[in-house]
Structure 1
Amino acid sequence: MKIRSFLYTVLLGLTVTGCNSNNALYDAEGTFEVDEVIVSSEVPGKIISLNVEEGSILKKGSVVGVIDSIPLNLQKAQVEATMAALHQKTMDVRPQVKMLKDQIAVQKVQLANAIHEKKRTERLLKADAATGKQLDDWNNAIEVLQKQIKVQEQQIKVQETTTAVQNSSVLSEFKPLKKSVAQINDQLKRTNIINPINGTVLTKYAMAGEMTAIGKPVYKIGDLSVITLRAYITETQLAQIKLNQQVKVLVDSSPNSYRTYTGTIIWISDKAEFTPKTIQTKEERANLVYAVKIHVKNDGYLKIGMYGNVKF
């Protein structure tokens, strides 16, 4: 009996020691996730090409697909034709102004001649070689010519003003049409599907030949070079960590070994929450914990959804 009691005590001690050793191996656990970007079409239409496959690695800024641009090109051509028609509706005032100026030039020659004849008549009148009526006639002629010149000059101003107002009314439609062309050009650029980040295609939602709409997902991409471990800690552990702190991340490599990584704490939740349902026991799910995010450089072995353990 004494020997049995001694062996039971030794085995119990080894069991407790083993449990404490496992608990000390890590301080928190969680699952790996990645920041995902859902790429959508920015214009509606038929997908002409889509060079995207799940698992393929894409570079930021690369053109991975094209939306049919024929409807937009036709719309642009229609607007440009309307703009050309507006120019034909405008009036050119230059021929009319030239005609009026030519008339003024002739009248000025006549005025100069009338002034010359008036002076000559005044000299003849002093020599009693002309009559007063002749002098009055030349004065009247000069006055008429001066008035005619003023009228012609006013007509030029009126004609220029009227034409400018008419042209302004026609061309007022030009600016909105020009803005429409700029808008269509912007939409034409958006017919190219541009990959927004460096990363790996996680899910493909559309195929070439399908119709798409604005905001409709085409594919989902994520940067797997740096993966995020979302772990949960207790309130007592909260005082042990800080932002940018280096921690040790452990991932199962085999039933009896771990793969070790260095991680950096990038986010600590300021609100407590109930432990997620992925935790095994019901009692542990009832506990309040704080979520933390840890960036880990991925060597290719880390996958989305894998479990990871953290040692502070």
Structure 2
Amino acid sequence: MKIRNHLITRHKTLPALALLFLLAACETKNDYDASGNFEADEVIVSAQQTGQLLAFSVQEGAELKEGEKVGQIDVKIPELQKQQTEASIAALKQKTGSSKDQTEVALKQLAVQESQLAQQMRERKRTENLVKADAATQKQLDDMDAAIDQMQKQIGVTRQQIKLYNYNAATQNRGILSEQSPLSVAAKQYQEQINRGQIINPLTGLVLTRYALKGEMTATGKPLYKIANMDTLTLKAYITGDKLAQIKTGQKVTVRIDAGEKKYKSYSGQIYWISAKAEFTPKTIQTKNERANLVYAMKVRVRNDGFLKIGMYGEVVLF
């Protein structure tokens, strides 16, 4: 009788155990639609000038503002080159001549000649009247005409000299000042090299890695530090093909991260990129369907509250 009761009890226990295993399997079943890791747009800031790092205040983990000066490269050589070029420009200006003095003398001479011509014209008029009254000879009138003609020629020569003075000065100055243009361009180039000696942070963000130290020699293009804007991160997640029809760009989704044992912290995210090609599932990614070999990558933009980190694992829930 005891044996029979034991068999009945065992028979009733087996279905209960099976139900417990089934419930446990349901609890451990993945309840997300895609998973991946958080990324950020990382920028490597490089030197734009060759020289010694006279100052460099960048520290890993520091928050930097856009436009903030974080270092200075030695630019003594381009500074001296600029000074030399500016001195050459100043010397050119001193070489330029002016026709002012010569022109003033010629103008005074012209005024005297014109005054003399006017006087001669009055004398000719008087002599002409005397000739009509037989008080003067024709020869006197002819001499007067010759003198007037000579004075008119002298005035013409003086006026020509004034034009020549102005022309020669302008021509000489053009030749001298033509050298100024390339020197001015060279001065601007040296100033640009001086400006590039300042290390200006290009964006607001967190310093991830520092590659140089104060006092080191650097060269154009050599990396100095890596920075990323951490205000908004990107979750690059992978979704299986059977879920692809359920997503689109601009779609709002729920993103969650681990927040302790069997707990999650949720964020609102937006899909802004979906790959057009399938790829093999990365080894670090888990999917609902473990048999899925091909997945599609997508990127979800998530506003960071300070808890999200680059490389952190995250999950996407569509509904």
Distance 1:6 1:95 in 2: 128
Give the direction of change, closer, same or farther, for the CA distance of 1:2–1:221 in structure 2 (3 Å limit): farther
Report what 1:309 is aligned to.
315
Is the CA contact 2:35–2:285 (under 8 Å) kept in the aligned structure 1?
no
Q: Verify: 1:265 aligned to 2:284, yes or no.
A: no
Report what 1:50 is aligned to.
56
Deviation per CA, 1:274-295, whole angstroms, max 9, x where unpaired?
22243479x9698222111112
Q: Verify: 1:126 aligned to 2:132, yes or no.
A: yes
Distance 2:285 2:14 in 1: 32
| TM superposition score normalised by structure 2 | 0.88
Code of the residue aligned with 1:72 in structure 2: it is P
Code of the residue aligned with 2:302 in structure 1: it is V
Code of the residue aligned with 1:237 in structure 2: it is K
Distance 1:154 1:226 in 2: 78
Give the direction of change, closer, same or farther, for the CA distance of 1:129–1:198 in structure 2 (3 Å limit): same
Deviation per CA, 1:91-149, whole angstroms, max 9, x where unpaired?
21111111211221121122112112211211222222222111111101111111111
Query: What secondary structure is seen at the aligned counterpart in 1 of 2:35?
Result: strand
Report what 2:123 is aligned to.
117
Report what 2:232 is aligned to.
226
Query: What secondary structure is seen at the aligned counterpart in 2 of 1:25?
Result: coil
Q: Verify: 1:105 aligned to 2:111, yes or no.
A: yes
Q: Verify: 1:35 aligned to 2:41, yes or no.
A: yes
Q: Which moved more, 1:222-231 or 1:141-150?
A: 222-231
Give the direction of change, closer, same or farther, for the CA distance of 1:217–1:8 in structure 2 (3 Å limit): farther
Give the direction of change, closer, same or farther, for the CA distance of 1:254–1:137 in structure 2 (3 Å limit): same
Query: What secondary structure is seen at the aligned counterpart in 1 of 2:157?
Result: helix
Distance 2:56 2:278 in 1: 44
Code of the residue aligned with 1:287 in structure 2: it is N
Deviation per CA, 1:15-39, whole angstroms, max 9, x where unpaired?
4544444334211111111111111
Report what 2:85 is aligned to.
79
Query: What secondary structure is seen at the aligned counterpart in 1 of 2:250?
Result: coil
CA drift at 1:59? 1.4
Within-5 A mapping of 1:291-310: 291-310=297-316
Report what 2:214 is aligned to.
208
Query: What secondary structure is seen at the aligned counterpart in 2 of 1:271?
Result: strand
Query: What secondary structure is seen at the aligned counterpart in 1 of 2:277?
Result: coil
Query: What secondary structure is seen at the aligned counterpart in 1 of 2:214?
Result: coil
Deviation per CA, 1:213-259, whole angstroms, max 9, x where unpaired?
22221111112232221101122211112223222222223343333
4+ residue segments displaced more than 6 Å: 1-6, 283-286
Percent of paired sites with the same residue: 51
| TM superposition score normalised by structure 1 | 0.90
Distance 1:228 1:111 in 2: 95
Code of the residue aligned with 2:223 in structure 1: it is P
Code of the residue aligned with 1:39 in structure 2: it is V
| One of 157, 160, 179 as aligned partner of 2:163 | 157
Give the direction of change, closer, same or farther, for the CA distance of 1:4–1:161 in structure 2 (3 Å limit): farther
Report what 1:25 is aligned to.
31
> Across the two proteins, how many residue pairs are aligned to each other?
311
> Structure 1: where are the runs of 5+ without partners?
none
Query: What secondary structure is seen at the aligned counterpart in 2 of 1:294?
Result: strand
Give the direction of change, closer, same or farther, for the CA distance of 1:73–1:104 in structure 2 (3 Å limit): same
Query: What secondary structure is seen at the aligned counterpart in 2 of 1:291?
Result: strand
Query: What secondary structure is seen at the aligned counterpart in 1 of 2:307?
Result: coil
Code of the residue aligned with 2:153 in structure 1: it is K
Distance 1:275 1:224 in 2: 27
- Root mean square deviation of aligned Cα: 2.5
Q: Which moved more, 1:120-129 or 1:204-213?
A: 120-129
Query: What secondary structure is seen at the aligned counterpart in 2 of 1:84?
Result: helix
Q: Verify: 1:166 aligned to 2:172, yes or no.
A: yes
Give the direction of change, closer, same or farther, for the CA distance of 1:138–1:304 in structure 2 (3 Å limit): same
Q: Verify: 1:276 aligned to 2:282, yes or no.
A: yes
Report what 2:4 is aligned to.
none
